[in-house]
Each structure stands twice: as C-alpha cells, then as structure tokens.
C-alpha cells in the first residue's frame, strides 16, 4: 500500500490543500514550501493528516484525523512599524511576484509602484506582478506610496553553462585560463553570476571571478596534468563545465618584439627580432606585398634572424613574425608589430608600351611619341628620365631626354620614315629599348588618312561605359591597335591606345571618361612587328542624344505655285550630340488645316493638322513646297534629327519662337508681270538715249575710223624767195603732216605726226614738204612739232584720200621747179602756217628717196618707195 500525507494550510482569510506521496523509510519527514505571497504579510495556520491506500480498505475510511492547527503570526498585527516584503529578492524572468506593503497604525498605502502604478487606500496591500521582465543592473525599485517604504527586486535568468574554457602557458610557469559566459548577465555586484574555477582531482579552488573578468591565472608548480571544473552560479542556480589537459601540450609563446629589418640587395631583406622567454620555438615570417599579396616563410629551427629573398626590386614590403613551440606544437603566438622596408633599385625590366601619332606636312613631319608601362614592365626604381632616339631616312641619328613623369614628346622632322626608340632610365640603368618603325608606307598612310572617309557607326552594341568597335581582320598582320582621345573637345585630349591579338576582330573600349552625346574618333591599325598601317577610321558615340541647335531657315521664292525653303546647318560638325541623319520640316497654316501636296499629315490636339516633310539626306538643305495657294499664311520649322524623328514643338503651335518662319503667299501675281514689263521698257528707253547722246563714241567703238593724214601748210617768212628753200635752210623732222584720229571707244583725239616732203605754191612764201611716213605721238619720244603754237591751234582743210609716196605735186607747171630737199641739215629759222592753204591739184609724180626712221638712230634706212596721193 502507499502512504499519502495531506496538509491543510490556510491563512486566516482563506485556505488551500497540498498533497504528496511519502516514502516508506523511518526517517523524519520534512515538508518545505514557498508561499506565493510573502508569509510576513499575514498569519497562517497549518494542520496535517495521512492516508493509507489499500485495496481492502475504502479511501473514505483510510484518512487519519487532522492534527491541531499550528498558527504562524504575520506582521500585519503590529501597529508600530511599516513593512514591505519581499526585500531585495532575486526572481526569475517571466515569473509572477507578489508584494506586500503594511502601513503602521493610522497610515494608509495610497498606491504601489513597480513599473506601473497600482492605486489603493488600505493599511495593508498585497499585489502580484505577472511575467516580470529583466531588471536593470542595479535592480527594479518597488515603492509603496503613502509611506517611505521601498525595496529592490532583481529579475534575472539562471546562469548558462560556460563555454570555450581554455588554459595555456607562455613560459611553463603560469597557467592562464579563459572562458566565455554561457548567457548574458543583466545584473551587477553580488547578485551577478559568479565563476568558480577548481580542480576536481585535489579539490583546490583557484579563483572566484565576476562576469566582467572571464579569466583566471595561477602558478603551475610541480603539477603537469589538470582536471578543472568551472562553475557559473547565481541566486537562481548553477551550471558546470570541465577541462582536462597536460601543461606541456598547452604552450602558447609570447609574440616576438623589437623587430628590425635591413635591405641587403634589390631582391633580399634581412630581419632581426627578440623573444621574451628562452624556449625551443619555431617561427613564421609574413611579408605583405604592395598589391595585397601575402607570403609566409617558415623557419624550422630556433633562431632570431632570417633573410627573406626572391623579392621585387625597389618594392616596399611589410613584415611580421610569430613563433610556436617546436615540441608538442599547440598554436602560434600573436603576430609581432609590423615593420616596413624597401628593397634596393635595379635596372628597369620589360619593355615600355610605345605608340605614335603623325602629322605630315609639305616639307616636314611632326610625330608625337607616347609611352606607358606595359604589363611586363617593371621600373625597379624611380624613373628619372626617358631617352628618345630617332634615326630617320637620310638623316643623322639624334636623341633627347624627357623628364619623368611626362609620357609623350613631339618630334619635328624633315620626313616620317625611320626608327624611333624609347628607353626608361633610373639611377641604375636603362630599360630594354622599345622600337617603332615608321616606313614609307606608314607615311603614305597619313596622306591617305586625310582623304579617308570616317565611317559613322551606331551605338547598338555599346554598354553603359563601353563603345563597341569591330574591324575587318587581315592575314598579313600579327595584331591590331586602336587609338582614340578620352576628351576629344579639349587639348591635351588624353590620348589613349589599346593593342589586340591577330585573332581578334572586335573589342569593347571602356573608359570612365566616356560621356553620352560626345563624338569619339577611333583609328584601327594593323601591326606587323614594329610597323603599323592604318586600316579604318570610325566615329562613334557612347549614346547618341537629341541634336541641339535649330537650323536657320530662309525662304527664297514665294508664289502661288511653289515655295523654296533653304536652311543653314553644319551637319558635319563633330560637336553635335549625335550623327545628323536628316531633317524634319513642319508646316502649319494660320488656321491649322495644312493640306500641302506631298507632305505627311499629322493631327494634333483640337483637330489641328500639321504637314511634315522628312528629308533623310543630311547634306540636302532645301525643300520645294508645291502649290501653296494664294493669300495663305504658313509657319515653318526645321528640326535636325539623329536616331529618332523629332516631335512637333509648342513653338510651332504657338508661333512665338524667333526661329519660326512665317510666310504669306501673294493674293494676285498679275501685277508682277506688269512691273517687269514697265522695267524693261524704261531700261530700253534709257539705252536708246544714251546711245544717241554718245553716238560718236558708239560709232567709233563699233567701226573704228581709218586714219586720214592732212598736210599742214607752212608759211615761210617773206625774206625767202618764191622758190623751194635751200636744203641748208631746214632741219630734218621739223616739217610735219598732221592726222586727227579718234580712238576706239575712247572718244579722245590724238595727234600723229608724219615727216613729209615739202612743196610750195602760194602768193607769199608757202611751202609743202613731203617725206616717208614715220608715226610718233606727241611728246612720246622727245620729238618736236612746229616751233610755233599757232601751227598747233589751226588745222588745214585738206583731206587725205589715199596714202602713196609722192604721187604728184599740185600746181607745178614745170617739174624742174621742184627741187628735192634733203632732210639732213634742214633748218627752219621761222615757220608760220598760213591762214588758208590753196587747193592743191596733184597731177604728176616725183620719185622720192627714203629717209631714216624716227626714234631709232641705229636703224638702217628703208629703201622702199612709197606714194602719197594728195587730193584737194
């Protein structure tokens, strides 16, 4: 059978039953319980009975009698003091806690505050807080308002099992143990979790620690093995963790210190360090490269120095050292403090990446040479200068130095054919030469480049930061080169180039400098060895944008049959934000009902009809609008387009923008023909009047007059006899024949003078002299006419019908009276022309001997004969 005890515990105001099963031992029975409410707040009474459960005895008859009540008096019966319970109690998070406030006699509790405020008006107050939350490190204040009663309540959790218990030694003298708390402790001071480290093998306790210090150190002594227990404990309970180990397997050395370095060569650095304890250790060296690469060097013997080799010249390295036990290795020490050292310089290795840009002239050539480090190039020191050597065809080798960090130079040469070499130089030596060979074919490439059409390609295969370039591969080249400018609108333009293999025929050129709406020019070269030939030129955009700027529109012809529009727009300008592919001409009539022939009709808001002409030839900048009609007003707008056609603008709809051209066709064109006819008639009349006024000039312009020489009569002073003068009385060339001639279209009279023979028949002394004709203008060759001005002022009334040498002499009855006068030594002491010469009737001839021509003393005399007909 089973024995069961029942207790009846009740305060004076209410009661409750508790039941438990008893064991069959003869030991005294202890029954402990914790009341929900503080037992000090009220009086309790207790009684107990037992029950024997047997199959043969009914349950109702098996209970024993109740014992006498055992009463426990509460503090609520006192009147002299005030109380609050429980005081400074530690409770578990999430539990229900009951509080009791008892005021002294005549004192009522108005409210109790535990986070929230609970009101009352009793001398004794009991209240319960359900599901309490974690307290602050110093606990939660409980206050009974109406009195000065208050206390603290500490709400926390049971301790968690400690984690990561570890013990080690760095010198085989002191053992250092550390751990991590199993749970977070929200309390501080004596109510926080306490950690106790002890040895289960001998019961020794090594340390008591608060959670703020999760470690413990103690001397090792002669013991080499340990069986440790770590206990986490607070008012709500405790948890254990265990660790067993051999001290010889738990050696963790101290990190090396006072690390120093020394650069021995361009590829080696030596390190030195010190150790804290004299232990048998192996060490490890870590070297950091500038590019982030890390190398580890293991030293399998105990030492305090090491030489790190295989390093790059003139490169900065950072070193650290750590050590561990050489026997029963457990783990490395911490890294030492870092130290940095640079290796020494050496000659540059690898070739520079070299390229050029040529600008041939008529008698010279400008070459801009560019260079940059190639992937295989290593400066191995600080580059001080770049040496440029060139040997052009037919010229002596020359060189120049360019200081670093410049990466280009210009060469002004007589021709572009030759070799150019570039070397980088540091304080040790120079790099291997990088050579560009510019052949005559390359030079001709640039002459061809000037005339080469630049292909304009769209941006279909481009990316957000890259421009797609493709080219036609050719088998004779072993690679390809593309060059361009990152900033084509400024100088310097940040010239760039990129090289590709022989099997590549396309590339995506990327640059952070590329911007939408900027035209970039690319040149594709085929390379063979050190020579290169231009293959293609391309113009591309990262992304084409809508063109800016509006063409300037002109209206050349306006009538009812057609309108002629022209506009000015530089469609080849590289500053455009996209390739200009054509133009759209929008036309709106005044009433919004455009019906022009050959146009596309666009209907916009409110039923307004706009005419649209699309011209897909950017070089074509004219448009003829057919049949615009009479007396109609049109508004014109021309817009250039790139990738997409433009839309109708508000400027055209409103017609207020200055670039909108407004044109009104004439109402009637008959007056135009009348005006033209009137202008033609007036012009013809003016021409007739002008011709009449200047008829002489016009006649001489159209039919120049044949020269008509006239004989100038000469009157000789009466002192001479009425015969021919003696030869000694005349000087050659002083007796002249004068011709009046009108110049063609000049209408100006000029005088030509002829030396003629002399004859005389007059009442007084009147003599005519004739000679061979020699033309000379007045004053042109220094010859003189008659000595008197009267001979210049008066003109003879003789007409010259023909020109024959000395055909006849008039009014001479006897040829014997005609004496030939030589022109040598002829002198006129005084010659005056008569008022009027008598008519001369030439009937006979006389033979005339030739004379020397005027104006040339060295010319031989002309022996030909000439005849002169003299007609009255």
Q: Report DSSP letters for 480-518, one per residue.
A: EEEEEESSTTSSS--EEEEEEETT--EEEEE-TT--TT-
3-state DSSP assignment of residue 412: strand
Region 115-119: mean pLDDT is 64
684 and 734 in contact (C-beta within 8 Å)? Answer: no
Q: What pLDDT is stored for residue 707 in this prediction? A: 63
pLDDT tens digits for range 387-396: 999 998 888 8
- By CB atoms closer than 10 A (0-12, 13-18, 19+), residue 807 is buried
The two tokens of residue 205 are 């306790």
pLDDT of residue 373: 94
Residue 3 and residue 22 in contact, taking contact as beta carbons nearer than 8 Å? yes
* DSSP character string of 286-340: EEE-TTS-EEEEEE-S--SEEEE-SPPTT-EEEEEEEEEESSS-----PPPPPEE
463, pLDDT greater than 50: yes
468-497 average pLDDT score: 93
- Whole-angstrom CA distances from 617 to 620, 633, 641, 759 are 5, 28, 11, 88
Average pLDDT of 652-671?
76
The answer on pLDDT for 448 being more than 90 is no
Lowest average pLDDT, out of 35-49, 590-604, 613-627, 812-826, goes to 812-826
For residue 675, CA distances in Å to 83, 389, 555, 685 come to 129, 78, 22, 16
pLDDT interval class at 244 (50, 70, 90): very high
Residue whose entry in the numeric block shows the structure tokens 């293609």:
536
β-partners of residue 438 are 418
Decide if 152 contacts 125 (C-beta within 8 A): no
Q: What is the pLDDT of residue 451?
A: 58
Give the pLDDT band (50/70/90) at residue 211. confident
The reported pLDDT for the residue numbered 590 is 79
Per mean pLDDT, which range of 479-483, 517-521, 610-614, 808-812 is the poorest?
808-812
pTM of the model: 0.52
Specify the pLDDT at position 580: 93
- Which tokens sit at 556? 């050349």
For residue 545, CA distances in Å to 443, 530, 574, 644, 665 come to: 37, 40, 13, 9, 37
What pLDDT shows up at residue 818?
43
The C-alpha atoms of residue 800 and residue 870 are separated, in whole angstroms, by 6
Report, as an integer, the average pLDDT of 325-340. 92
- Look at residue 182 in the predicted model and tell me its pLDDT: 87
184 confidence band (pLDDT: 50, 70, 90): confident
Percent of the chain topping pLDDT 70? 71
pLDDT at position 793, please? 44
Buried b (16+ CB within 10 A) or exposed e, 517-556: bbbbebbbbbbeeeebbbbbebebbbbbbebeebbebeee
pLDDT > 60? residue 283: yes
Closest CA to 765 of 711, 829, 831: 831
Residue (of 480, 548, 473, 483) closest to 509 by Cα position? 483
pLDDT of residue 608: 83
> Who contacts 650 (Cβ-Cβ below 8 Å, separation ≥6)?
none
Sign of the Cα torsion 579, 583, 584, 589 reads positive
The 10s digit of each residue's pLDDT in 119-150 is: 666 777 777 888 888 888 888 888 887 777 78
What is the reported pLDDT for 141? 85
Determine which of 69-83, 97-111, 601-615, 731-745 has the lowest per-residue pLDDT on average. Answer: 731-745
pLDDT value at 105 more than 70: yes
Helix (H) or strand (E) holding 442: helix 440-451
Pick the closest to residue 456 from 380, 537, 561 (CA basis). Answer: 537
pLDDT at 426: 94
Mean pLDDT rounded to a whole number for the chain:
77
Give the 3-state secondary structure of residue 134: coil
Burial of 249 (C-beta count, 10 Å sphere; 0-12/13-18/19+):
middle
Confidence of residue 471 (pLDDT cuts 50, 70, 90): very high
> Considering only 364-373, 680-689, 770-779, which range has the smallest mean pLDDT?
770-779
Residue of 111, 169, 174 whose CA lies nearest to 144 = 111
> pLDDT (tens digit, 9 = 90+) per residue, 684-737?
888 888 887 777 666 676 666 666 555 544 444 444 444 444 555 544 544 444
30-34, 607-611, 710-714: lowest mean pLDDT where?
A: 710-714
509-514 long-range contacts, CB within 8 A, separation 24+: 509/466, 509/467, 509/468, 509/469, 509/482, 509/484, 510/463, 510/465, 510/466, 510/467, 511/465, 511/486, 512/465, 513/486, 513/487, 514/465, 514/466, 514/467, 514/486, 514/542
Scan for tokens 């305060």, then name that residue. Answer: 11
Q: Please, what's the b/e burial string for 285-306 (b: 16 or more CB within 10 A of its CB; e: otherwise)?
A: bbbbeeeeeeeebebeeeeeeb
């Amino acid at each position: 059978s089973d024995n069961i005890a029942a207790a009846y515990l009740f305060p004076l105001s209410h009661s409750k039953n508790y039941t438990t099963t008893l064991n069959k031992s003869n030991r005294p029975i202890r029954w402990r319980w914790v009341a929900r409410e503080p037992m000090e707040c009220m009086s309790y009474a207790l009684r107990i009975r037992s029950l024997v459960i047997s199959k043969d005895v009914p349950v109702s008859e098996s209970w024993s009698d109740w014992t006498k009540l055992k009463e426990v008096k509460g503090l609520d019966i006192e009147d002299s003091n005030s109380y609050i319970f429980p005081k400074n109690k530690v409770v578990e998070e999430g539990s229900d806690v009951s509080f009791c406030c008892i005021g002294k006699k005549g004192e009522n509790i108005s409210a109790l505050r535990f986070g929230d405020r609970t009101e009352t008006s009793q001398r004794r107050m009991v209240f319960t807080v359900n599901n309490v939350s974690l307290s602050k490190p110093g606990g939660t204040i409980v206050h009974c308002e109406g009195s000065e009663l208050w206390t603290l309540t500490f709400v926390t959790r049971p301790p968690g099992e400690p984690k990561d218990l570890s013990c080690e030694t760095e010198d085989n003298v002191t053992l250092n143990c550390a751990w991590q708390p199993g749970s977070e402790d929200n309390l501080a001071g004596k109510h926080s979790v306490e950690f106790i480290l002890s040895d289960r093998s001998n019961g020794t306790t090594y340390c008591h620690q608060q959670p703020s210090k999760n470690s413990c150190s103690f001397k090792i002594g002669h013991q080499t093995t340990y069986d440790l227990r770590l206990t986490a404990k607070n008012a709500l309970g405790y948890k254990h963790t265990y660790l067993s180990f051999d001290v010889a397997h738990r050696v963790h050395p101290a990190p090396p210190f006072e690390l120093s370095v020394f650069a021995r060569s361009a590829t080696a650095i030596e390190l030195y360090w010190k150790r804290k304890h004299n232990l048998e250790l192996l060490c490890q060296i870590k070297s950091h490269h500038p590019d982030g690469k890390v190398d580890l060097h293991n030293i399998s013997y105990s030492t305090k120095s090491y030489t790190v080799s295989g390093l790059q010249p003139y490169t900065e390295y950072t070193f650290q050292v750590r050590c561990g036990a050489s026997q029963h290795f457990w783990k490395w020490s911490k890294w030492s403090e870092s130290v940095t050292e640079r290796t020494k310089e050496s000659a540059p290795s690898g070739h520079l990446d070299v390229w050029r840009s040529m600008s041939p002239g008529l008698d010279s050539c400008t070459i801009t040479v560019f260079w940059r480090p190639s992937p295989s190039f290593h400066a191995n020191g600080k580059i001080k200068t770049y040496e440029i050597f060139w040997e052009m065809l037919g010229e002596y080798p020359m060189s120049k130095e360019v200081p670093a960090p410049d990466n280009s130079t210009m060469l002004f040469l007589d021709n572009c054919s030759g070799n150019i070499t570039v070397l980088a130089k540091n304080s040790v030596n120079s790099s291997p030469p990088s050579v560009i060979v510019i052949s005559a074919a390359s030079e001709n490439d640039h002459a061809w480049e000037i005339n080469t059409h630049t292909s304009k390609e769209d941006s279909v295969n481009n990316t957000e930061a890259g421009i797609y370039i493709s080219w036609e591969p050719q088998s004779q080249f072993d690679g390809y080169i593309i060059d361009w400018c990152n900033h084509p609108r400024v100088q310097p333009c940040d010239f760039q180039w990129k090289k590709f293999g022989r099997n590549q025929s396309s590339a995506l050129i990327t640059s952070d400098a590329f911007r939408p709406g900027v035209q970039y020019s690319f040149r594709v070269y085929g390379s063979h060895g050190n020579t290169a030939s231009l293959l293609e030129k391309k113009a591309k955009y990262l992304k084409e944008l809508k063109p800016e700027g509006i063409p300037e529109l002109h209206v050349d012809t306006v009538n009812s049959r057609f309108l002629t529009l022209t506009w000015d727009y530089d469609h080849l300008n590289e500053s455009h934000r996209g390739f200009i592919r054509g133009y759209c001409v929008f036309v709106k009539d005044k009433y919004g009902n455009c019906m022009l022939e050959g146009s596309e009709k666009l209907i916009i808001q409110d039923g307004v009809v706009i005419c649209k002409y699309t011209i897909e030839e950017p070089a074509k900048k004219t448009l003829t609008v057919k049949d615009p009609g009479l007396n109609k007003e049109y508004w014109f707008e021309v817009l250039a387009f790139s990738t997409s056609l433009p839309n109708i603008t508000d400027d055209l709809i409103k017609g207020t923008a200055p670039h909108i051209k407004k044109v009104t066709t004439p109402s009637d064109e008959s007056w135009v023909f009348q005006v033209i006819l009137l202008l033609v008639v007036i012009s013809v009349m003016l021409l007739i009047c002008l011709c009449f006024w200047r008829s002489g000039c016009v006649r001489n312009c159209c039919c120049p007059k044949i020269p008509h020489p006239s004989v100038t009569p000469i009157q000789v002073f009466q002192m001479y006899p009425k015969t021919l003068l003696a030869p000694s009385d005349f000087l050659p060339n002083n007796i002249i024949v004068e011709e009046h001639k009108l110049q063609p279209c000049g209408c100006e009279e000029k005088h030509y003078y002829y030396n003629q023979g002399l004859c005389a028949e007059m009442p007084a002394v009147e003599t005519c002299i004739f000679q061979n004709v020699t033309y000379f203008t007045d004053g042109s060759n220094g010859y003189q006419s008659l000595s008197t001005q009267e001979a210049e002022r008066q003109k003879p009334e003789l007409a010259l019908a023909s020109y024959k040498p000395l055909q006849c002499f008039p009014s001479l009855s006897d040829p014997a009276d005609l004496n030939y006068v030589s022109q040598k030594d002829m002198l006129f002491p005084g010659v005056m022309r008569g008022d009027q010469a008598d008519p001369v009737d030439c009937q006979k001839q006389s033979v005339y001997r030739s004379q020397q021509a005027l104006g040339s003393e060295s010319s031989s005399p002309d022996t030909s004969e000439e005849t002169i007909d003299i007609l009255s």
